[in-house]
Chains A and B, each alone.
Chain A
């Protein structure tokens, strides 16, 4: 069959939002679907955690991300005890979730709330998550990112599937939690993610991000578990 190249070319014409913000026909897909969650501050009454943690929206394109970001309260304007969580679709942003319970998190607390550009830093962390630049393609560790607004600090965290060790149901392969990924490689993957995370947060040389396992955090009775790794 003869395909008229001109006609074919017309069919393939790709109009992006940059060409025409009101009439585009292609959008930029993300590698994963992401869900934005919000934790409301407790009202003081008998609040149930499940009533406070709400999923806001799930999206799968760069364009939609910006529609959301441009029309939602910035972190700097949230009340104390609020959180935003941006997680891969299907993962609840709680350590009890079956996909999180063997994992851990990299985290950094910004204690000087007035001088830290928290909106910009949180935006950059979200962009690194949805743009998939926090880990290598086969690492399989990143579950989501979170920002906590507290009285004395902002904290930004990055949750991982494992603590660098095999996990139940992780299989035999060289994947996150698989038996084929030895302890040395498991640690190196997490350290690589930690280094990229601290780069996104633009930390100074004397500021470190700490990694701790969720279960260790629970046993410590608070989120101040002893750091397993630092970078």
Chain B
């Protein structure tokens, strides 16, 4: 997101980030009804899975790629700057608003 200059309001977590924080871990995969266009995890991988301990194959995991795109914390950009260096975002010109 573009940097807001001249504003000192604390940033608010997005709806997606709020959901990520408050969501419960799935206990039983069988309880989940996925939308029709989403392939469920391979049941054979989890035939004897204990509660909440699942294996996921690549094709299932790849379905999330364009679905959860939010930064995983409010201080993400600072954290990345301190550890990895420039983020891909900051390396690109920001669009003016």
Which residues does A use to contact B, with CB under 8 Å? 12, 14, 16-19, 21-31, 38, 40, 54-57, 59-74, 77, 79, 124, 127-128, 130-133, 137, 200
Known contacts being A21-B16, A22-B16, is A28 close to B26, with CB within 8 Å? yes
B9 located at the interface, meaning its Cβ lies under 8 Å from any Cβ of chain A in the complex: no
Asked if A133 meets B45 with Cβ closer than 8 Å, knowing A67-B68, A73-B86, the reply is yes
The 9 residue pairs across chains A and B that have the minimum distance between CB atoms: A67-B72, A29-B25, A22-B15, A131-B56, A27-B23, A54-B83, A66-B68, A132-B55, A63-B68
User: Chain B's nearest CB lies how many Å from the CB of A215?
Assistant: 29
Docked CA distance A54–B85 (Å): 11
Chain B residues 17 to 38 lying within 8 A of chain A, measured CB to CB, are 17, 19-20, 22-26, 31-35, 38
Taking a contact as CB atoms under 8 Å apart, the answer to whether A29 and B26 are in contact is yes
Contact indicator B34/A16 (Cβ below 8 Å): yes
B72 surroundings in chain A (CB, below 8 A) = 57, 59, 64, 67-68, 71
Q: A62-B64, A64-B72 are in contact. Are A40 and B79 (CB under 8 A)?
A: no
Q: Is the CB of B68 within 8 A of A73?
A: no
- CB within 8 Å of A: which B60-89 residues: 60-65, 67-73, 76, 79-80, 82-89
Residue pair A133, B57 in contact (C-beta under 8 Å): yes
Contact A62 B87 (CB under 8 A): no
Is A71's CB under 8 angstroms from B54's CB?
no
1/0 per residue B30-55: CB within 8 Å of A? 01111100100000010010001111
6 further A-B contacts with Cβ under 8 Å, apart from A25-B24, A79-B85, are A28-B54, A56-B83, A57-B72, A70-B65, A72-B88, A131-B61
Residues of A within 8 A of B53 (CB): 29, 31
Q: How far is the CA of A164 from the CA of B76 in the complex (A)?
A: 39
B26 near A26 (CB under 8 angstroms)?
yes
Do residues A56 and B20 form an inter-chain contact, with CB atoms below 8 A?
no
Distance between B71 CB and nearest chain A CB, rounded to angstroms: 5
Q: Contact check: which of A12, A67, A137 meets B20 at CB < 8 Å? A: A67
Asked if residues B22 and A25 are in contact (CB atoms below 8 Å), the reply is: yes
Residues of A within 8 A of B17 (CB): 67
With A25-B23, A28-B26, A133-B45 given, is the CB distance from A72 to B67 under 8 Å?
no
How far does the Cβ of A183 sit from chain B's closest Cβ, in whole Å? 28
Contacts of B33 in A (CB 8 A): 14
In the bound complex, how far is the Cα of B45 from the Cα of A200, in angstroms? 17
Q: Does B97 contact A (CB under 8 A)?
A: no
User: Given the complex, which residues of B lie within 8 Å of A55, measured CB to CB?
Assistant: 83
**B65 pairs with A66, CB closer than 8 A:** yes
Does B4 interact with chain A (Cβ within 8 Å)? no
A201 to B27, CA, bound (A): 31
Cα-based distance from A22 to B13 in the complex (angstroms):
11
> Are A72 and B80 in contact, with the CB atoms below 8 A?
yes
Identify the interface centre among B60, B63, B85: most chain A CB within 10 Å of its CB: B85
